Amino acid sequence: MPDSKPSIPGRLSREELAERIRSGEIETVLTVFPDLYGRLIGKRIAGRFFLEHVADHGMHVCNYLLACDMEMDPVPGYRFTSWDTGYGDFVCRPEWSTLRLASWLERSAIVLCDVLDENTGEAIAIAPRAVLKRQVARARDTGFIPMGGSELEFFVFRETYESARAKHYENLETFGGYIEDYHILQSTKLEPLVGTIRRHLEASGIPVEFSKGEWGPGQQEINLRFCEFVEMADRHVLYKNAAKEIAHSQSLAITFMAKWNATQAGSSGHLHVSLRDAPDAKQNLFAGDGDPFPGTHARPSKLFLHWLGGLMEHTRAITLFFAPYVNSYKRFVPGTFAPTAIGWSYDNRTTGYRLVGQDQSLRVECRIPGADANPYLAFAAMLAAGLDGIERKLEPPEIFVGNLYEAEDVPQVPRTLAEAIEAAESSEMLRAAFGEEVLEHYLHFARTEKRKFDEAVTTWEVARFLERV
């Protein structure tokens, strides 16, 4: 349990938290965990009570929180818990390495928890953080430390969440009237919000690289620093939560939907990944002495090519964890910088896997996930596929050169949630890597999302059919 001062500004040790609570500098500890959607769920706990009763033993919450939908509806059919078992509790135990200031909130700290069985103390296998930790442990057992970064895009509206709801989410005004990719003028207009988000992330132990305008009116991107997978996923969900709360405090609204409007660009959650050697993570194992990629000086290792082989073989199966909702698949449109075909290439934004960097910076950018993906599950699925490629020494197809949108006879990214569910369900790799219990839990989650959409009557249907059928 760390008591020494963390090296990243905004991070706290347990000892520092106790000191700041005693001095009154911190009054509240947000004690949270990510749910199936990647949302932060938990309690605001008074600082002194946290130290006396939660720090060592954790907090109890109802286990339906890992078996419900977006509307907090207890969904039947999960093996994990149900009305038949009475929806009991599980324990959320703080993981002290995640403790940090929540600088965007008054006198607050935040800590992420591991979710444990109340009786055995063992990790709940279906919890998103546990799913990722299991795959990271597999990699470490093989001598690899997975390192990653996620690129999260979002749209900003001149609305509040309340005004958007009052408008039934129609005719929303974006914060900008034209495509603003890399525009400094338009990003200056948004700097009171985006700059505030950057500063609070930095002050809360979430190091930032940069922000920029994106390929849509009012669309922005903030990139975080590359780090180990679990820490990266933690930063990712904290960033999303903080950004929404900061926008709310400025009477604005933001969305991380994959496709909020049919006429606008989608929002991605690209994953940059490399493997480093254990235990010190100094050497990038993707860099090697193989033939350079066409037109570059970048040379891959055999391990890197086997990693790509695994990704290429299993992309259709793991897309469910990159694109978990019906809306996610509306983003896959040719010519929008979102991939539609499965291929790999060097510095080519038409492919699902874009290779970038060289030597120690050589990495894979997976361009398939949207900003709506749960990062724990997306990283876990990608890691499982890559490890399978390494273990089986799979070879990728030839590197692609050109416009993959126009290529023929190449495998395609699933176009619907139903297609992705079918691909995941038939994957022996996922059943072996995730385990039967975990995979079935998330298949039921996805089927529930599809069922609830299929039961809905949309405004498109009413406008099209009300008068004319």
Superfamily of domain 14-124 in the CATH hierarchy: Glutamine synthetase, N-terminal domain (3.10.20.70)
Residue 370 three-state SS: strand
**What six digits make up the tokens of 347?**
């510095």
pLDDT at 279: 77
The domain limits of the chain are: 14-124, 135-461
287 contacts 185 by C-beta, under 8 angstroms: no
pLDDT at 5: 53
Q: What is the mean pLDDT of residues 12-32?
A: 97
Alpha-carbon torsion 145, 135, 418, 428, what sign? positive
180 contacts 275 by C-beta, under 8 angstroms: no
> What share of the chain in percent tops pLDDT 70?
99
111 contacts 95 by C-beta, under 8 angstroms: yes
Q: What is the mean pLDDT of residues 109-115?
A: 98
For the chain, state the CA radius of gyration.
22
CA distance 429 to 424: 9
pLDDT at 177: 86
**pLDDT of 369 strictly over 80:** yes
pLDDT at 215: 87
pLDDT at 105: 98
pLDDT at 3: 46
pLDDT, one tens digit per residue, over 420-440 is 999 999 999 999 999 999 999
Alpha-carbon torsion 53, 56, 62, 65, what sign? positive
Q: What is the mean pLDDT of residues 275-296?
A: 88
pLDDT at 1: 41
pLDDT, one tens digit per residue, over 207-257 is 999 999 898 999 999 999 999 999 999 999 999 999 999 999 999 999 999
pLDDT, one tens digit per residue, over 132-154 is 999 999 999 999 999 999 999 99
Tell me which fold the domain 135-461 belongs to.
Creatine Kinase; Chain A, domain 2 (3.30.590)
pLDDT at 290: 85
Output the average pLDDT for the chain.
94
pLDDT at 94: 97
CA atoms within 13 A on the CB side of 222: 29
DSSP H helical ranges for 204-330? 229-249, 302-322
Predicted confidence band at 6 (pLDDT cuts at 50, 70, 90)?
low
- Residue that is written with structure tokens 């039967």 in the block: 436
DSSP of 354-420: EEE--GGG-EEEE---BTTS-HHHHHHHHHHHHHHHHHHTPPP-PPP-S-GGG-SS--B--SSHHHH
CA distance 34 to 312: 29
- Return the closest-CA partner of residue 251 out of 310, 206, 192: 192
Partners of 220 in beta bridges? 154, 213
Most confident by average pLDDT, 4-8, 115-119, 278-282, 442-446: 442-446
- Taking the CA atoms of residue 157, residue 33, residue 448 and residue 79 in that order, the dihedral angle to the nearest 10 degrees is 180
CA distance 328 to 13: 38
Q: What is the mean pLDDT of residues 26-40?
A: 98
pLDDT at 433: 98
pLDDT, one tens digit per residue, over 145-187 is 999 999 999 999 999 999 999 999 999 999 988 888 888 998 8
Enter the pTM of the model.
0.95
Q: What is the mean pLDDT of residues 348-361?
A: 92
Predicted confidence band at 262 (pLDDT cuts at 50, 70, 90)?
very high
**pLDDT of 192 strictly over 80:** yes
Residue 50 three-state SS: helix
pLDDT, one tens digit per residue, over 78-87 is 999 999 999 9
Predicted confidence band at 291 (pLDDT cuts at 50, 70, 90)?
confident
Q: What is the mean pLDDT of residues 7-28?
A: 95
CA angle, 156 as apex, 416 and 180 as ends, to 5°?
90
Q: What is the mean pLDDT of residues 449-461?
A: 95
